[in-house]
Structure formats: C-alpha cells, structure tokens
C-alpha cells in the first residue's frame, strides 16, 4: 500500500511511502485483537477497592439484648451488616487483575489492528515536525489541515516530544504517543492514525522479526 507524505499545511510533500504488506496487509485475527485489548484494559485496573467486613469494624462487642424473649430477631453484635455502620458482606477486596499474553499473540494483534486501519483508509503519513513550545492551537491547525477528522485522532511519533504531547492535552479527541508506546487498544480506539514519517519503517522492522 502506497501513501503520499503530507506536509503540516495539508499539501503533499512529493514523497511517497510504501506500507509493508507483512504488517499493514495481513489477514486480521479478531481473537488476537480481543485478547490484547482485554489484557490492556485489565492491566490498567489497580484493584485497590476495599471494604471492611464485620471482623474489621470498630464497634463494641457487647451483646445487644437477651437471646430469647425479646420479641424480635436475636442479635449478637452491632458489627452485623444489617446495622448502620456494620461490616459489608461480600464487599470488594484488593486483587491483582494483570494477566499474561504471549509476545507473538500481541504482535499479531498489533498487525491486525494496523491492517484494519489500512483497509479503512484511516492512516495518514505526515512529514516530521517539531514545536518550539506547547501550543494547542498550532496542533489543532495541523490536525485540521491534514483533514484527520474531529473524532479520535492518534499521532504516533518516532520518539517522545514533550511540546507536541503537551499541545494535545486540551484536545479531547487528539492523543499523542511514541512508537514505543503504541498498542492494539490505542490503534483500535482511534478513528484516524497519523504516522509521522519514519514510524511505518520502525513498525515494519519490529513486527517482522
């Protein structure tokens, strides 16, 4: 697949790049994509939710009333869950959500996600650019000029750029990551993938190993 490289003003630079068929043109594997996305979302969970059960509540252990003859149900402690301030039954406890996925499955998932974007013509190759200071308006102007759309645009840079990243933080539909951070979820969650020229070669080199 051949794409023209665009300048930041939206015009063609005259250069064209070819996307590797082994990365951007494979037979997509939906199950691999599913497994990788599930793993990514699970690994974002901290698992810190915690409630106290009756053994952890700070209440008096005095029996509330006599066992029989009170005319109602028998109770032995204010720590019971039926009382206000009592312990919670079957509440959440800290747990570990992370799970493992084989490297080859993750690589297949990434290539499948990239292939889907190529099939949807949702990939734009942009010539390398820099920003002297964080300027949201400037990055928004670039996004509009290259006609990336106004729904979930993902910029993928060859390396981290603090100014470009900071420029995107006030744009809810624009995300910026480096090629080292790219993952299946980020690709599938974006409507348009903007690859800064050079990223496609890095992706091809890493995924063809």
Question: Where is 194: in which H helix or E strand?
Answer: strand 192-196
| Structure tokens belonging to residue 82 | 């039926």
pLDDT digits (tens, 9 = 90+) for 150-197: 789 999 999 898 999 999 999 999 999 999 999 999 999 999 999 998
Helix, strand, or coil (residue 2): strand
Does the domain at 2-45+102-207 match CATH 1.10.10.10? Answer given as no
CA 111 to chain centre: 17
CATH 3.40.1370.10 residue spans of the chain: 2-45+102-207
C-beta of residue 76 within 8 angstroms of C-beta of residue 64: yes
pLDDT reading at 207 higher than 80: no
Continuous H helices in the chain: 21-24, 30-43, 103-119, 136-145, 162-168, 184-189, 199-207
| Residue 13 to residue 20: CA distance in whole angstroms | 21
Query: What pTM, to 2 d.p., does this model score?
Result: 0.82
pLDDT digits (tens, 9 = 90+) for 66-113: 889 888 888 888 999 999 889 999 999 999 999 899 999 999 999 999
């Amino acid at each position: 697949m051949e794409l023209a490289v665009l300048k930041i003003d939206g015009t063609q630079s005259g250069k064209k790049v070819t996307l590797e068929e082994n990365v951007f043109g494979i037979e997509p594997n939906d199950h691999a994509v599913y497994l990788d996305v599930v793993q990514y979302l699970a690994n974002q969970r901290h698992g810190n939710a915690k409630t106290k059960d009756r053994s952890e509540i700070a209440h008096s252990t005095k029996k509330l009333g006599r066992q029989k003859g009170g005319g109602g149900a028998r109770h032995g402690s204010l720590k019971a869950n039926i009382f206000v301030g009592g312990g919670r039954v079957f509440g959440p406890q800290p747990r570990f959500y992370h799970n493992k996925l084989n490297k080859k499955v993750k690589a297949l998932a990434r290539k499948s996600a990239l292939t889907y974007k190529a099939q949807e013509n949702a990939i734009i190759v942009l010539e390398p650019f820099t920003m002297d200071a964080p300027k949201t308006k400037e990055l928004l102007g670039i996004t509009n000029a290259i006609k990336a759309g106004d729904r979930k645009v993902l910029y993928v840079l060859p390396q981290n750029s603090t100014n470009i990243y900071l420029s995107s933080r006030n744009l809810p539909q624009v995300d910026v990551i480096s090629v080292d951070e790219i993952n299946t979820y980020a690709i599938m969650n974006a409507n348009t993938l903007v690859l800064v020229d050079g990223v496609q070669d890095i992706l091809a080199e890493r995924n063809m190993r």
